[in-house]
Amino acid sequence: MPEEQVWIATWDSAESLEGQKGWGQEVTRKVTSLLKLNPVNPETITAEWNRTMRLIGNLIQQAEEQADSQLGMQLDEVILVVEVNSKGQVGIVGTCSGEASGKGAITLKFKRSESK
């Protein structure tokens, strides 16, 4: 049996809801018309996710080594925000404000395991 598609909801940001008040029928209709459902093959997302996690693992390892050798410190926690787009591509979300915009992104928090 073929694998089912994963549906990624995207927002058509070309239009805006500015000036609308409340959640009446008109606003509900407009929101519904702006959301687009895009079918994505789960294998595409899995491959992209694995590629991104390998990259993140390499970056974390490099950061740990540099923190230890150059600063005498230990990396304890890493917080990343990743996003899956309508094509199933997984990417790291960057931001200038230091706070992710939360547009459907996935927040990953890696914390060092407690020593036993």
7-62: per-residue pLDDT in tens?
888 776 555 555 555 556 666 666 666 778 889 999 999 999 999 999 999 998 99
The domain total for the chain is: 1
Domain membership flag for residue 22: yes
> Side-chain half-sphere of 56: how many Cα atoms within 13 Å?
19
pTM of the model: 0.64
Percent of the chain with pLDDT over 90: 17
Supply the pLDDT for residue 102. 45
Domain membership flag for residue 102: yes
- As to burial, measured by CB atoms within 10 angstroms (0-12 exposed, 13-18 middle, 19+ buried), residue 10 is middle
Q: In what order do the strands lie in the sheet with 90-92?
A: 90-92, 77-84, 106-111
Domain membership flag for residue 1: no
Where in the sequence is the domain holding 72, given as residue range(s)?
6-111
